[in-house]
Amino acid sequence: MNPVLNQDESTAPHYRRAQEEVVIHRARILPVPEGTPRPLWSVMIPTYNCAKYLRETLVSVLAQDPGPERMQIEVVDDCSTKDEPEAVVQEIGMGRVVFHRQLKNVGHTRNFETCLHRSRGHFIHLLHGDDAVRPGFYARMEAALAGHPEIGAAFSRNVFIDERGNWTGLSPLEASQSGVLEDLLERQVVIQRIQTPAIVVRREVYETLGAFDRRLSWTEDWEMWTRIATKYPVWHEVEPLALYRTHANSNTGRYVRTGENLDDVNRCFSIIKNYVPTGGGERLTKQGRQIVARRALKGAAGMAAEGDFSSAIAQARAAFNLSVTPSIILPLFQFTFEFALHGLKRLRSR
């Protein structure tokens, strides 16, 4: 029988206190109560309307499963409305994977919080229900974290995949060999370097720094990994061991269509600029704003070429709000030209 846990089980005293003890915009993550069995790993899988990808996610984890004494595997569903992730958990998990459903939709940042509260392991891996890991992920991450007790987290490069699982790109190579990145904070303040399925964090780090920032709707992971880099060394594994999926129904896909992705980037920059000592954050985030705005305008031109004019306009508007500097004048001109050209083609084809 699949071990489905009810919401009532998450109202234990330590869980209720953690929910109530919010430091400004971040929930406090309390230590695991004494006497609670502690596996090495907590693989926490947040889901929302992505059950068709969840099968691949679970298979990739279970293929590396060292057993329940060493790995907690749990799916935490944010009250999905379009599919039934519990059925996938029962089919693939066969009693090995715990399923927990929120009583109501709380949003993915709060759902991440629930994952952290429910975790019991020493190492926490948040793995989106539409992403996956490649063979060797847990062994490599364990070797890094166990062999270097001073580091707070470890991340690998990742493969970007589309909705069919096709490879569409690789994250940058941050160093020539695996090891601690000495300047990760400065890199992270400029641009997001780490995708969530590629990083593992010690639970004690969350206990010290708190959960994800509730002010953010799309960049909460960017802010979290940057915050970690202010306090702890972080290990980088050069081999791409995680799969990060982009598709129309993902958070990224939804937010891109409205421009909320860039509005949230703006909020994130306003927070993380304060993480750099000696006032360097203002300069670095200005550089980051320019990079993100230029990329967004290029993407907006591609949306116009595909006939998605409303999304193109939303992205261009948000990019202009993000950075009004000479460096984006040419990309803005190119976008305007492409938008007009494809709009005219569309009119002529009618």
Q: What is the pLDDT of residue 250?
A: 67
Using a cut of 0.85, tell me whether the model's pTM lies above it.
Answer: yes
Span 316-341, average pLDDT = 81
In the chain, % of residues over pLDDT 70 = 90
pLDDT band of 8, cuts 50, 70, 90: very low
The three-state secondary structure class of 239 is: strand
Span 68-95, average pLDDT = 97
Q: What is the pLDDT of residue 118?
A: 98
Q: pLDDT tens for residues 110-123?
A: 999 999 999 999 99
Single out the residue of 280, 241, 234, 261 nearest to residue 318, CA to CA.
261
Examine the pLDDT at 242 and tell me if it is beyond 80: yes
C-alpha to C-alpha distance for 94 and 344, rounded to whole angstroms: 55
Examine the pLDDT at 20 and tell me if it is beyond 60: no
Examine the pLDDT at 5 and tell me if it is beyond 50: no
For 27-74, the DSSP string reads E--PPPPTTS---SEEEEEEESS-HHHHHHHHHHHHTT---TTTEEEE
pLDDT band of 22, cuts 50, 70, 90: very low
Examine the pLDDT at 21 and tell me if it is beyond 60: no
Examine the pLDDT at 12 and tell me if it is beyond 50: no
Examine the pLDDT at 340 and tell me if it is beyond 90: no
User: H-helix or E-strand containing 334?
Assistant: helix 329-349
Q: What is the pLDDT of residue 63?
A: 98
Cβ-contact 44, 125 below 8 angstroms: yes
Q: Which of 27-41, 141-155, 210-224, 321-335 has the lowest mean pLDDT?
A: 321-335
